[in-house]
Amino acid sequence: MESFDTLIIGAGFAGAVCARALAEGGKHVLLLESRNHIGGNAYDCPDSAGVLIHQYGPHIFHTNDKRVYDFLSRFTAWRDYQHTVAANVPDGKGGRQEFPVPFNLVSLETAFPPEKARQLEEKLLACYGPERKVTILDLRQNPDPEIAALADYVYSHVFVYYTQKQWGTTPENIDPNTTARVPVFLSRDCRYFQDTYQGLPKDGYTALFQKMLDHPGITLRLNTDASQVLDLSGDTIRYEGEPFRGTVIYTGALDALFGFALGALPYRTLEFQFETFSADQVQSHATVNYTMDMPYTRITEFKQLTGQVLPGITSTVKEFSRAYEGAPGQIPYYPIISPENNALYARYATLAGKFANLHLLGRLAEYRYYNMDAIAARALALCDKLLEDSHG
Ligand code: FAD
Ligand code: UDP
């Protein structure tokens, strides 16, 4: 058996950042990954046409956290990319119309005649102030009838149908922090994110992960599910039948770790439909959201994200959101945050709490809607603590 003092399950951002930080702190890390590749949901690879695609949906790195940016920048250079998204909706005259998302002052001017747009802008700025972000649920509470009518317009043209497709229910019935990710923005800044550091790894995410995991203190084992080697049925964690008292960091789904003993935690999954076209470019923006019709939520054209130069050929992905049923090959992408689901998660977390050397980290293991940078930040903070404890 290899000699290791740290076991990490999952080679996505959570697991890989921990592996590197702990290996640099002198730990001997065994990193297990059930898939046949590293990178988790950020994994990218060329498709059969040679276009670099994101296998699990488009990933744009953005953060205000300098520590995270500096840490990841050791393993990649960045393509400076500012993400923009258009909503594509029927124009009511048999054609289609596009406007920026998040809905902003430019969207307002596209959606309404000039005089009406000017009046609404004046009102909004007087009420909230310039460059402010207002969630759709807050905007809908505004007592001014004209602002309320605008809120209805944004709700029906941007949020209600898209949210129904993505979550199977309306914006009022999901965690308010979710729609708050895409607020109405009283600005002419058409970027999707305003974070200081934004971009894509120059050679892709997989290359970033390869460099991050290239350390003598890290042993990587792909195609290995934790359930094949870990046993949590007793008082001590067992690895391949032997008690393991080193650190265990688990980044997979918590219900799966305990064999679904308390029932399944609900998630949304996605189906991806990839397409390749003989064209340089097929849509106006890297991502176009279909907010009022179409069965898919959005289409992303990868070359616009990655900046890859490949004349005459381009690939896109359509995303279809579905209830996760645990069918073979289905991947749980989004925890469904709600008081009831959080309570079930808390019961699993209590089971996990029995093992002092077990640490839960990541979107699935923590049942939280984290972006990549938040996961990397949490991974670095956890490693700080583990290294401090072991050295102190
Ligand atoms: P994951 O990436 O899911 O990694 C977990 C890894 O653990 C996986 O490789 C999995 O195979 C492995 N694993 C799980 N269970 C086991 C087991 N039992 N045994 C062995 N291995 C196991 N974030 C952004 O910042 N910007 C974006 O633009 C963005 N876009 C997104 C688009 C989509 C469609 C989705 C779904 C997410 C997006 N995210 C984005 C979020 C981002 O994917 C997550 O923040 C990030 O992947 C979290 O990393 P993680 O390591 O927690 O999880
Ligand atoms: N949303 C929406 N219309 C849009 C974009 C987002 O209704 O055009 C809502 C929807 O509920 C979505 C949430 O806002 O799930 C968060 O969107 P975000 O783009 O942050 O989701 P991600 O794809 O990053 O998970």
Average pLDDT, the chain: 97
Band of residue 384 on the pLDDT scale cut at 50, 70, 90 = very high
**Dihedral of alpha carbons 18, 55, 289, 331, sign:** negative
Q: Say yes or no: 176 and 297 in one domain.
A: no
Band of residue 1 on the pLDDT scale cut at 50, 70, 90 = very low
Q: Say yes or no: 152 and 133 in one domain.
A: yes
Q: Is 77 exposed, middle or buried (0-12, 13-18, 19+ CB in 10 A)?
A: exposed
CA–CA separation, 245 vs 78, rounded Å?
39
- Of ligand 2's atoms, which has the minimum distance to the CA of residue 371? 24
Measured in Å, residue 336 CA sits from the centre of ligand 1 at: 15
Q: What is the number of structural domains in the chain?
A: 3
pLDDT of residue 391: 80
- pLDDT tens track for 17-60: 999 999 999 999 999 999 999 999 999 999 999 999 999 999 99
CB 59 within 8 A of CB 373: no
Q: Say yes or no: 119 and 228 in one domain.
A: no
Domain range enclosing 132: 87-185
How large is the average pLDDT for residues 338-347?
A: 97
Beta pairing class for 358-360 and 247-250 = parallel
Q: Say yes or no: 128 and 211 in one domain.
A: no
Q: Say yes or no: 110 and 163 in one domain.
A: yes
Task: Tell me which residue has its CA closest to atom 2 in ligand 2.
Answer: 159
Does any domain span residue 190? no
CA dihedral 182, 187, 189, 190 (to 10 degrees): 50
Q: Say yes or no: 248 and 378 in one domain.
A: yes
Q: Is the model's pLDDT at 216 over the cut of 60?
A: yes
Q: Say yes or no: 58 and 178 in one domain.
A: no
Q: Say yes or no: 73 and 91 in one domain.
A: no
Does any domain span residue 191? no
pLDDT of residue 381: 98
CB 65 within 8 A of CB 373: yes
Q: Say yes or no: 96 and 62 in one domain.
A: no
Q: Say yes or no: 147 and 221 in one domain.
A: no
Does any domain span residue 154? yes
CA–CA separation, 331 vs 364, rounded Å?
11
- pLDDT tens track for 186-202: 999 999 999 999 999 99
- Of ligand 1's atoms, which has the minimum distance to the CA of residue 334? 36
Q: Say yes or no: 213 and 317 in one domain.
A: no
- pLDDT tens track for 237-264: 999 999 999 999 999 999 999 999 999 9
Does any domain span residue 116? yes
Beta pairing class for 247-250 and 6-9 = parallel
Q: Copy the structure tokens of residue 305.
A: 């994200």
3-state percent breakdown (helix, strand, coil) of the chain, nearest 5: 35, 25, 45
Does any domain span residue 329? no
| CB contact set of 275 (below 8 Å; sequence gap of 6+) | 315, 316, 317, 318
Residue that terminates a domain, selected from 136, 160, 185? 185
Q: Say yes or no: 309 and 217 in one domain.
A: no
How large is the average pLDDT for residues 378-386?
A: 98
**In 3D, which of 313, 220, 331, 196 has the Cα closest to residue 271?**
331
Q: Which ligand ends up closest to the CA of 252?
A: 1
DSSP 311-331: TT-EEEEEEEEEE----TT--
CB 288 within 8 A of CB 299: yes
- pLDDT tens track for 313-323: 999 999 999 99
Does any domain span residue 192? no
Task: Tell me which residue has its CA closest to atom 9 in ligand 2.
Answer: 179
Residue that terminates a domain, selected from 185, 219, 250? 185
State if residue 375 touches ligand 2 by the CB under 6 angstroms criterion: no
| Residues having CB within 6 Å of any atom of ligand 1 | 9-15, 32-35, 40-42, 57-60, 225-227, 251-252, 256, 270, 333, 362-364, 370-373, 375
Residue that terminates a domain, selected from 185, 207, 236? 185
Does any domain span residue 193? no
